[in-house]
Structures are given as structure tokens and as C-alpha cells.
Amino acid sequence: MSQIADRLIDDPGLAAGVASLTPERIEEVVTRVLKGEAGAKLKAYQETCMRCGLCAQACHYYVSHDSDPSYSPVSKTTETIYELINKKGRVEPSRIYEMAQIAYTECNLCKRCAHYCPIGIDTGYAMSMMRRICYQLDVVPQYIRDTSHSHAATMNQMWVKDDEWIDSLQWQEDEARDEFPNLRIPLDKEGAEIYYSVIGPEPKFRTQLIYQAAAIMHVAGVDFTMPSTPGWDNSDMSMFVGDFENMGRLKRSHFESAQKLRVKKIVMGECGHAFRSIYDMGNRWLGYADMPVPVVHAVEFFWELLTEGRIKIPKKLEGPVTIQDPCNIIRGRGLMDKLREVTSMLCEETVEMVPNREHNYCCCAGGGVINCGPPFKNVRMTGNKAKADQLAATGVHTIVCPCHNCHGGLDDIIGYYELGMHPRFLGDIIYEIMEKPEGM
Amino acid sequence: MGRISSWDWEVGRKKVVDSLSPLQDHEWQEEPYVSPDGETLAAIVKVGDGEFSVRTNDEVWESTFEKLWFLRYSPDGRLTALCQQDMEWSLAIDGEPWGDFAEYVWETKFTRDGSSIAAMTKIDNKYSVALNGTPWETVYENANQYALSPDGKRTAAVVQVISLGQADVEGYKKGVFSVAVDGEPWDGRYVNLFTPTFSPDGARVAAQARLTSYDYTIAVDDRPWQKTFQQVWEPVFHPKGAGVAAPVRSGGKWGVALDGQFIWNPRYVQCLGLQYSASGEKLWGVVATGFGKFTVACDNVPWDATFPIVTDLVLSPDGSRAAALTSEYNRNFRIVVDGRVWPGTSDMAWPVVFSPDGANAAAVTEKGGRFHVLVNGKAYEQSFDRAFSPVFSEDGSKVLIRAIENNSCVRIVADVARF
Ligand code: SF4
Ligand code: SF4
Ligand code: SF4
């Protein structure tokens, strides 16, 4: 069995934070968070966990590291938050470095293990609380911290300035008009049926996704709008950092921008973690029992457009595909059937990965791990050999992948394990094969 | 007699535009906007290849632009749109660009009386605010969340005053943001600043301030309150100069602090959108008394009824009455005035407007695609394809209904007494 101490990775954010810690400060913060925020659930987990290890097989890190117990969910909790509970926060600063590395980079908060634990212990939740403590201790990996800073300064995760956002939309509208002369991306159209929201990387690096979404909306005749002001980014690395205060601010900005435009619902692009933020974490921090404005994930939205015949597929995508089930919308929202129905409406043949649906393995990018940046890339690669094996076993080339993070994660795994496969967004496939009436 | 009294207040109905179908040669016409007095309907129209203009009733602006968006009426009736010409941007007011063209112009804001118009401006990749066409002399590598003073004479924005390298988290934590007022930055450097806001006389500026990653407070003219909190929301100035109030979070609960001291003890799950009455005697806000239990509170006393969602708190002009929209997560909207729910639910609702004397309240709602105009809870006899927010006459005896029906734009003046 390996030890976290043997695999520490240099990260300026973790190092600087730990350097200014004192045992007193650790004790103070741990006590405050455990008492004030963590509630009874965490204590109950710690007291009732039988250390039976049934959760181990559930975790891709454990499976990928030849069943090294150090990577099992129970070990992650025991080595971090349970230890802090037991020792009442009396640990050395160097130990916090180890705990932070486990919590931020060796767990994707994917909740797969919760399904394997006989008493339903949610290690993802325990790791979130561990991250909350690390954040309060100012011990956070550099890159994800920077992303969270961007969220606070601009309300989006990519330092996109207010005008750059509008400019990207107008640029995509221009481009799309070469193909669809009458296409509009209506900005701030009050009373539209749908508010379309995306994540920060779309205007920055993946503008074609905005183009494709606009094309689909246009062909389907959807009454939609996009806001010209901040709030448009539904993503949330502040949540994964443990900066819940800024998570609340972000979600307020997101929902209020939709309320102000008096839309009926928000449709969000193909993103997993953002869904967790809007339907579970961020909305609740604000005091809402549900989403203040209903948010429909792209999988569900495409399903509606296809089943209602608003988008027609004259010829399906040739060749077999497999499906990546993004944890946050599958285990989190139960979209596994709709994802399969959409895929079968678009693609000739599906070869399932095994296991799949709510038992899928995470891509290992999730939970903000990919956002911890280059220092931890290898953690994701070695930590998800399980996914590589799963992918290879399908023998197909194309992966239907309705989640931004999964894309990044799978791309990396495909490269690292030389799988020669290609993840694609549903929107990308729909755009390619849908009927595009002339002169629209 | 004010501006509104000069409008046509004769009871009756008038067709402002017979047909809203695109005029001849217009390839398309975008969503309509109606002037405050209801006499003009405007829409962006495509008049040729890469050529856009604005239709007003059955006329069209003489000028054309490569791009036009954000068509909005100023409260004084001027019609504005963000416009692009030769790849540069400006704000067109009644067809004429204001000031010089810039690399980018966006986020138009008006004073309540419409006398001043402001917008964000980018020139040579630097950011500032333009007031009535004139940008600040000092420019910044970024500026956002700008505010226009109520008297229309000043502007302020959050500005970045120190550059950051890629992923420079330590630099960020030292503070790189300030507030610039009319372009002049505060001396202080903050981790974050949010929503600067002016005092009623425009002399002072308050903003939400993040002093360290973990400490939030309110800064007034660059002086942070002594006390810090877990989180804060938008500050408001007392109208008679008796301090600045803001929602603050402490021990996981929200309350209200005035100049840093609690005036509403932290006991709410949420508290936001504070507004003072005109005299400053009353302080209103949206609060949540429990998880998913939102309502309106006045001076820390919540209304009895709670709702899953409460938005759009509006006060009567003197601030003695209040109205808000409620919904069940964006469905089944209800209008609540003084804590009492108007009958019926709708699929969408627009903020309530009060008559100048505060005696009457009106709002627009939409249900099943039909728009209704309600006054004091009762609907106007006819529903519409679309209706815009109603306007009361200055004496409050009449209400102006601006609406679209059967592809035409109508203007109806109705007696409030008939509702
Ligand atoms: S990565 Fe997923 S399965 Fe592994 S411990 Fe974390 S939540 Fe559990
Ligand atoms: S399966 Fe559950 S009870 Fe058993 S070790 Fe894992 S978390 Fe503890
Ligand atoms: S990135 Fe995708 S698979 Fe990975 S955690 Fe997020 S939703 Fe799950």
C-alpha cells in the first residue's frame, strides 16, 4: 500500500498556503467548519463507517492503481476529514498539504462510491467538506484557485471581459449567417421562452459550440435569448475550490440574469458540473429549495427537439459510437435513458461501455481535478486506467460525450493511452447531420 | 406638471401602428419596443445586405448601420441603440451616433428622468465609462459593474489597477481592484469590489468590498467598515444621509448592517435587495425566513406569507407600500402587494408599478401566451398578444396601456376607477 506522503506533487498554491499555516490556525479553522458548517451528516459518516472497504472497487483511482488501498474512498476519508475529526484539528501543516492533495486531486466528487457503500456514505460530500476546510486554510492548488478568482472578478471562469463575451456572440452570429442568412443570436430579448447558457471556455476556445447551438435553435425555431451581461456562465469552480460564498454570488448572478429577462427556463449547454452547481449546491446556498429558474440540460433539450420533430435527422451518423455518462447529469440527474434515446436517434449503433449508466466510471477530470492544471495531469492519467480499458474494450472510434470536463478528461486519457478515439458533443453531431432547410 | 402630464390622457383607444408586418423591402424586423408615452413602436430592421436601421411606427431612421442591437427607449422618450459602422461602435440616439466611435460600446444605462445616458466604452483595448458620449480621461485594463449617479452627473465602475500575470493567485490576493469615480481611482486596492452605487446626491460611492479572500464588508468612499462579514450584498445609502445599509452574512445567517453595526440581527436564510422609503424611515428588503421561504420584510418585520421565490421588490414613491413578484420556481407567478396576494396565477409577470400617489398598483402578466394588464388586482377587460408595463397618469386617476393586438400596436387610456 502506497502513502500519500510518497506521491506529493509540487504546487505553488498548496505550498504557499501550507507555509503560512500554524497548528493553532488549523485547529481553529477545523473546529469552526466542523461545528458551524459540516453538520451532523459528516459526524455520522465518521461514526458509522465500518471500514469494510466495499467502496474500494467503486473508485476508478483504486481500480486503476492495482487495488492500492491508499486510493480507496474509505482511505481518502480516513486520511483526511475523519482524521481531523478524531484529532480535533490538531495536525501539522505538512499533513494539510497531503490532505489537500487527496481532496482536490484524488477524488472527482463523482459519487460513484456512494452507490457501493451499504450505508450510503457519500465520500464526494466528505471530500467537499475537506476542500472547504482547505480553502478556509488558504491551501488550494494554484490553477483552480485562479479560475475561482476569475469567477469573482468577472462572473465567468475564463477572465472573459464583458465586451469580449458579446463580441464572441456577434462574431458567431456573423459566421453563421453565411450558412443561415436569417440566423440571429438575440441578446437580452425579454420574455423569450429560453435563456441559453454556456460555460466560460465556449466564448474563449470553443466558439464553434455557440455557432452550433445557434444553428440548432434557428432550425428548430426556438424562441431563445442570451444575456449580454454577466451571469451567462453557468460553471462554478468556486464550488469545487470550497469558496461557497463566491459560489452563491455566481449562482445569484446567473439566476437573476435569467429572471430579469423573464424567460420560462434556462437551457444549459453540455456541461456536467455546472448542473451540480445550479440544482444542488449553489441554489441551496442561496436559500432556494429548488432551482429558482428551471434549468434544462442540453441532453434533455435535444431529446425534446428530436422527439417533437423540430430537428430532423435524414441520415444517422455512420459507424458505432459509445457513450460517456457524465456523473453529474447521470447519477446527479438521472438523464441516462434520455442520453441513450438521443444517441440512438442520431447514431446508427451504440456499443456500451461496461459498466455504464449510473455505474459509469468518472472521466477523472471532474470535481475540478482537471482545473488543478498541469502539475496534476499525471494523477488523472494514472488514476483512470480503468476508463482507458473501458474505452478500448468498446472497439469504437467515436464517444458521445455531453460534458465539457469529460471531453477534456477523455481527450487526455485517449492521448496518454494512445487509444485513437474521439469524443464528440451531441450538439456537434446534431449540427453535422440535421436537416438544414435552404435559405433559412 | 411633469413630463407625463403632457401626454395624451384622454380616455379611449388609439391604433398607433396599423400593421406590424415588416415594411416593404425589409428582410426582417426584430422584437418591438414601445415608447414610454405609447405613441411609438420601434424595432430593428434589416434593410439590406449587412445594413440595419430602426423602424419607428411606419417610418425608418435615415441612417443605417452594419449592426444594431440593444434598442431601448430612454425614459424621456429618446430612442437608443448600440450601433456599428466601419467596424467601430457607438450609441445611436434617434439615429445619430453620440460622440466618437469606439472599439466597443455596450451596457446602456439611463437616469430615471432620462436626462443622462451612459455606456461602457473600450478604446485601444482600454476600458472606461462614457457619459453622454464622453468617455473618462483615465482608462483601465478592465472595468465593469458601472453605476450612473441618480442626478446623471457622475459614473463609477470597478476597475483593475494592477496587471496580473497568468495564474498569479498571490498577486490577486494582495488586491488589484479599485473603484474609479469619473475615472479617478480610489487609493485602496481590494481583492474584489462589487456593485458600486452612488448616494442620492451623487456625492458618495459605496461598494461591496472583499478585503481578504475571507472578509467581506462595505467600503464607502474607499473607507471599509470596521467590521467584516462572511458575505455582503448591495449597499444602499440612507436618503437623508444617515449612513449606508447592506445585507451581511454572519454565522451562516443574513441580517442588515448600517455603517457596520447590525440593525437587523442575522437570522435570515437570505436577505437582499434593500430599499429605503423616500424619507428614510422605513427599510425594505427581500428575506428568506427559512429554506425556500421567501418574503418581503419592512424594518425587520417579514410579511406573514412566504413563497418559494420572491423577486422584483418595488416601493410606492413615498416607500410606504411595497409590491413583489412571487413564483413557484418560475411557475405560477403571483403578485403580492402589501403582503396580500392578488387573485390568480400567471406564467410570467412583470414588476408592479405604483401610481405617483401610491394609491394604485398595476402590472402586466402573461398566461398561456395571452398578456393581461392588472390594476389593483383586477384585469382589464381585454387581453393582448403582448403588453408592456402600464403607466399611471400623474394624478393616478388613469392608466396607460401599451399593447399589441392583431398585428397592430394600440394605446389605451383607461380610468382606474373602472377596474
Ligand atoms: S472519485 Fe468518485 S468513486 Fe472515487 S472516492 Fe471520489 S467520489 Fe468516490
Ligand atoms: S463501503 Fe461505506 S462503510 Fe464500508 S468502508 Fe466504504 S464508506 Fe465505510
Ligand atoms: S467531468 Fe464528466 S464524468 Fe467527470 S466528473 Fe464531471 S460529469 Fe463526471
User: What distance in Å separates residue A196's CA from the closest CA in chain B?
Assistant: 16
- Structural contact between residues A322 and A399, judged by C-beta atoms closer than 8 angstroms: yes
- Structural contact between residues B38 and B29, judged by C-beta atoms closer than 8 angstroms: no
Dihedral, CA of residue B2, residue B3, residue B5 and residue B9, to nearest 10: -160
* Distance in angstroms (rounded) separating the CA atoms of residues B229 and B248: 6
For chain B, the first-to-last Cα distance in angstroms comes to 26
Residue ranges in A49-161 assigned as alpha helix (H): 60-64, 73-79, 81-86, 93-105, 123-136, 142-154
CB contact under 8 A, B192 and A167: no
Residue B1 has pLDDT above 80, yes or no: no
List all residues 6 or more positions away from A103 whose beta carbon is below 8 Å from its beta carbon: A76, A80, A127, A130, A131, A134
Chain A residues in contact with B386 (beta carbon < 8 A): 191
Backbone angles phi, psi at A403, to 5 degrees: -155, 130
Q: Mean of the pLDDT values across residues B387-402?
A: 97
List all residues 6 or more positions away from A411 whose beta carbon is below 8 Å from its beta carbon: A423
* Distance in angstroms (rounded) separating the CA atoms of residues B35 and B38: 5
The answer to whether the complex's ipTM is over 0.95 is yes
Task: Write out the three cell numbers for A174.
Answer: 456573423
Nearest-by-Cβ selection for B167 from A142, A228, A245: A142
pLDDT band at A273 (very low <50, low <70, confident <90, very high): confident
Give the gyration radius of chain B's Cα atoms: 23
Nearest-by-Cβ selection for B172 from A37, A149, A170: A149
Chain B residues in contact with A153 (beta carbon < 8 A): 142, 160, 172, 177, 192
| Pairing of the two strands B253-258 and A295-297 | unpaired
Residue B2 has pLDDT above 80, yes or no: no
Instruction: Give one DSSP letter per residue of B145-177, joined into a string.
Output: EEEE-TTSS-EEEEEE-S---TT-HHHHHH--E
Q: Where are the domains of chain A?
A: 4-140, 155-303, 313-433
CB contact under 8 A, A292 and B309: yes
Three-state SS for B353?
A: strand
Q: pLDDT tens, B12-42?
A: 999 999 999 999 999 999 999 999 999 999 9
Q: pLDDT tens, B119-174?
A: 999 999 999 999 999 999 999 999 999 999 999 999 999 999 999 999 999 999 99
Looking at residue A343, its amino acid is T
CA of B131 to the centre of ligand 2 (A): 62
Average pLDDT, chain B: 97
* Distance in angstroms (rounded) separating the CA atoms of residues B218 and B209: 5
- The closest of A342, A355, A339, A348 to A321, measured between CA atoms, is A348
CA of A256 to the centre of ligand 3 (A): 26
Backbone angles phi, psi at B219, to 5 degrees: -105, 130
Strand partners for B297: B285, B302
Q: pLDDT tens, A367-401?
A: 999 999 999 999 999 999 999 999 999 999 999 99
Q: Mean of the pLDDT values across residues B216-221?
A: 98
Tell me if A123 CB under 6 Å of ligand 1: yes
Give the gyration radius of chain A's Cα atoms: 22
* Distance in angstroms (rounded) separating the CA atoms of residues B198 and B149: 5
Chain B residues in contact with A145 (beta carbon < 8 A): 169
The reply to whether B347 falls in a domain is: no
CB atoms closer than 10 angstroms to residue B94: 14
Instruction: Give one DSSP letter per residue of A145-164, joined into a string.
Output: HHHHHHHHHHSSTT---HHH
The reply to whether B240 falls in a domain is: yes
Q: Which residue from A minimizes the CA distance to B123? A: A163
Mutation for A interface: B213, B216, B228, B295, most A CBs within 10 A: B213
Q: pLDDT tens, A196-214?
A: 999 999 999 999 999 999 9
| Pairing of the two strands B192-198 and B184-185 | unpaired
Residue nearest to atom 1 of ligand 1 (CA): A107
Into which CATH architecture does domain A4-140 fall? Orthogonal Bundle (1.10)
Structural domain harbouring B277:
230-295
Q: pLDDT tens, A56-78?
A: 999 999 999 999 999 999 999 99
* Length of chain A in terms of residues written: 440
Task: Write out the three cell numbers for B156.
Answer: 463609477
Three-state SS for A75?
A: helix
From the centroid of its chain, how far is CA B328?
23
Residue A156 has pLDDT above 60, yes or no: yes
- Structural contact between residues A420 and A393, judged by C-beta atoms closer than 8 angstroms: no
The reply to whether B54 falls in a domain is: no
- Of all residues in chain B, the percent with pLDDT exceeding 70 is 100
The reply to whether B235 falls in a domain is: yes
- Structural contact between residues A112 and A331, judged by C-beta atoms closer than 8 angstroms: yes
- Of all residues in chain A, the percent with pLDDT exceeding 70 is 100
Q: pLDDT tens, B350-385?
A: 999 999 999 999 999 999 999 999 999 999 999 999
Task: Write out the three cell numbers for A176.
Answer: 453563421
User: What distance in Å separates residue B329's CA from the closest CA in chain A?
Assistant: 5
- The closest of B320, B328, B332 to B281, measured between CA atoms, is B320
Secondary element (H or E) of residue A109: none
* Residue B366 contacts A where some CB pair is shorter than 8 Å: yes
CA of A112 to the centre of ligand 1 (A): 6
Q: Mean of the pLDDT values across residues A310-316?
A: 98
Residue nearest to atom 4 of ligand 2 (CA): A52
Q: pLDDT tens, A161-208?
A: 999 999 999 999 999 999 999 999 999 999 999 999 999 999 999 999
- Structural contact between residues B178 and B215, judged by C-beta atoms closer than 8 angstroms: no
The reply to whether B285 falls in a domain is: yes
Into which CATH architecture does domain A313-433 fall? 3-Layer(aba) Sandwich (3.40)
pLDDT band at A284 (very low <50, low <70, confident <90, very high): very high
Average pLDDT, chain A: 96
Q: Mean of the pLDDT values across residues B262-266?
A: 98
Ligand nearest to the CA of A360: 3
CB contact under 8 A, B231 and A289: no
DSSP A95: H
* Distance in angstroms (rounded) separating the CA atoms of residues B107 and B103: 14
Chain B residues in contact with A142 (beta carbon < 8 A): 167, 169
The reply to whether B160 falls in a domain is: no
Three-state SS for A158?
A: coil
- pTM listed for this prediction: 0.97
- Structural contact between residues A433 and A398, judged by C-beta atoms closer than 8 angstroms: no
Ligand 2 mutation target, pool A70, A115, A117, A125, most atoms within 8 A of CB: A117
The reply to whether B280 falls in a domain is: yes
* Residue B168 contacts A where some CB pair is shorter than 8 Å: yes
CA of A108 to the centre of ligand 1 (A): 6
CB contact under 8 A, A245 and B230: yes
Q: Mean of the pLDDT values across residues A427-437?
A: 97
Residue A40 has pLDDT above 90, yes or no: no
* Distance in angstroms (rounded) separating the CA atoms of residues A18 and A66: 31
The reply to whether B93 falls in a domain is: no
Q: Mean of the pLDDT values across residues B226-251?
A: 97
CB contact under 8 A, A294 and B347: no
Q: pLDDT tens, B290-332?
A: 999 999 999 999 999 999 999 999 999 999 999 999 999 999 9
Domain count, chain B: 1
